[in-house]
Amino acid sequence: MSSPRVVVTGMGVLSPIGNTIDEFSSALSAGKNGIDKITLFDAAGYKAQLAGEIRNCRFEDFIDPRDLKKMDRFTVFGMIAALQAVEQSGLHEMNSKDREDIGVIIGAGVGGIETFSDNYERLLKSPRRVSPFFIPMMISDIAAGQVSIRYGFKGPNYSVVSACSSATHAIGDAFRMIKYGDAHAIVCGGAEAAVTPISLAGFANMKALTTNPDPATASRPFDAMRDGFVMGEGAGILVLEELEHARGRDAHILGEVVGYGATGDAYHLTTPAPDGEGAVRAMKKALADAGLEPGDIDYINAHGTSTPYNDKNETAAIKTVFGDAARHMYISSTKSMTGHLLGAAGGIEAIACLLAIRDGFVPPTINYAHPDPECDLNYVPNQKIDTPIGTAMSNTFGFGGHNGVLLFKKWDS
């Protein structure tokens, strides 16, 4: 008996370069830079002062202002992106009985850190000042819970926390659960809102962030002058659905998930394994899961954080997996435009892969000016390439040695 196929029937995004799928696609195509000076707080005294913030989005247009007061910023992002994805998929039109087999899995690397920080300041004044909503606003699973409650989706419901691989693991879990028959459809992806004083200070003090003050050159994956990542915020949410279930309700199919691989480095808390050994195994597992050969992949959306170690090791890993084909394939890091969305990165980058397939283009790696002898592949510098994309790979790797890889394919019925 053949394994059920899993397709994508909805997408939703909030990102530093666009707050709808169409805006996001246009920005990716144009190579738009979403990095700028931090406005969410006064960052004048910090080593790093840039971020990819969500701008021009009125949250109250999507969520009742009374409910907004009970949500951390990361939950708001997850909710708005999920609203887009669910509306596009048409799952909101399902009857209450059918909604028992619809799940929600939304990952976050940091979760409600803004709520945590605010309430700690209240605690220092008096325990009585801590909000009664502190716990349900702060915990990382609450975005998934809120989406479930909003729509009455009663299938598997939880969060994944695996640092920068969180959204990819959430999508991978959803993919597997649907194939195993645990749900007919799952709303999945990631949300993050970690552009806060304590997060910025923590990442900067561990020397993970760039101290480059120029927004136009700060996030420059694979460039020889790269010196750290730029924090971003937002959410990327997909609706995954079992193929026959989607066909049964005449849903519009946007693409297919065909492979997933997950591994651990077991090496270091923050530094990837030498030559990307864990990444190699994750990519190989995803290819084997999909029954594909290295030459079948047209495009890799790289993790590409703009840090010295990640970009060098990811390049080595790609060479190991793809051999001679690595020289002829398209690779880019959309983090050059959005910054690094931490636990939400895999969500918006999965969407970038699906849009590359849908719209027939490879997003560029912008801000690329100085070739690095250790990063010597085709990173699509500065300008998109218009070309048909049949199959795309999305790589995400997180602190703690977490590796996740997804494969998406053009829907061909």
Catalytic residues: 164, 303, 340
In DSSP notation, 337-361 reads HH-B-GGGHHHHHHHHHHHHHHHTE
The secondary structure of the chain in percent helix, strand, coil, rounded to multiples of 5, reads 40, 20, 40
SS3 390: coil
Between CA 362 and CA 301 the distance in angstroms is 9
Between CA 368 and CA 379 the distance in angstroms is 9
Q: Does residue 380 contact residue 331 with C-beta atoms inside 8 Å?
A: yes
260, β-bridge pairs: 406
13, β-bridge pairs: 236
Between CA 225 and CA 136 the distance in angstroms is 42
Between CA 2 and CA 363 the distance in angstroms is 34
Q: What is the dihedral of CA 43, 44, 50, 53, to 10 degrees?
A: 40
Give which of 261, 345, 284, 348 is closest to 310, Cα–Cα: 345
Between CA 168 and CA 172 the distance in angstroms is 6
CA-to-CA dists, residue 195 to 111, 165, 367, angstroms:
11, 18, 22
Between CA 376 and CA 198 the distance in angstroms is 36
What are the structure tokens assigned to 399, written together? 């602190």
Torsion sign (Cα): 92, 95, 96, 100 = negative
